[in-house]
Amino acid sequence: MRVSFHGQSVVKIKTEKHNILIDPFITGNGTCDLNPDNEKPDVILLTHGHNDHVGDTISIAKRTNCLVVAPNELAVYLGSRGLKTHPMHIGGAHEFDFGRVKLTQAFHGSMFEDEDGNKIYSGMPAGILFYAEGKTIYHAGDTGLFSDLKLIGDMNDIDLAFLPIGDNFTMGPEDALIAADWVKAKKVVPIHYNTFPLIEQDGQAFASKVKTGEGIALEPGSSIDI
Task: Please give the pLDDT value at position 125.
Answer: 98
**What DSSP assignment string belongs to 202-219?**
-HHHHHHH--SSEE--PP
pLDDT in tens, 187-199: 999 999 999 999 9
Cα of first residue to Cα of last residue in the chain, in angstroms, is 6
pTM reported for the whole predicted model: 0.98
Coil vs helix vs strand at 47:
coil
Q: Using 50, 70 and 90 to split pLDDT, how confident is the model at 201?
A: very high
**2-218: CATH homologous superfamily?**
Ribonuclease Z/Hydroxyacylglutathione hydrolase-like (3.60.15.10)
Task: Please give the pLDDT value at position 79.
Answer: 98
User: Using the 8-state DSSP alphabet, how is residue 54 labeled?
Assistant: H
pLDDT in tens, 8-64: 999 999 999 999 999 999 999 999 999 999 999 999 999 999 999 999 999 999 999
pLDDT in tens, 48-81: 999 999 999 999 999 999 999 999 999 999 999 9
In this structure, the dihedral spanned by the alpha carbons of residues 6, 8, 9 and 11, taken in order and rounded to 10 degrees, is: 0
Q: Are strands 160-164 and 135-139 parallel, antiparallel or unpaired?
A: parallel
pLDDT in tens, 165-188: 999 999 999 999 999 999 999 999
Q: Using 50, 70 and 90 to split pLDDT, how confident is the model at 224?
A: very high
- Write phi, then psi, for 100 (nearest 5 degrees): -100, 135
Task: Please give the pLDDT value at position 198.
Answer: 97
Q: Using 50, 70 and 90 to split pLDDT, how confident is the model at 210?
A: very high
Task: Indicate the burial class of 145 (C-beta count within 10 angstroms; 0-12, 13-18, 19 or more).
Answer: middle
User: Residues of the chain with pLDDT > 70: what percent?
Assistant: 100
CA separation for the pair 12, 189 (Å, rounded): 13
Task: Please give the pLDDT value at position 137.
Answer: 99
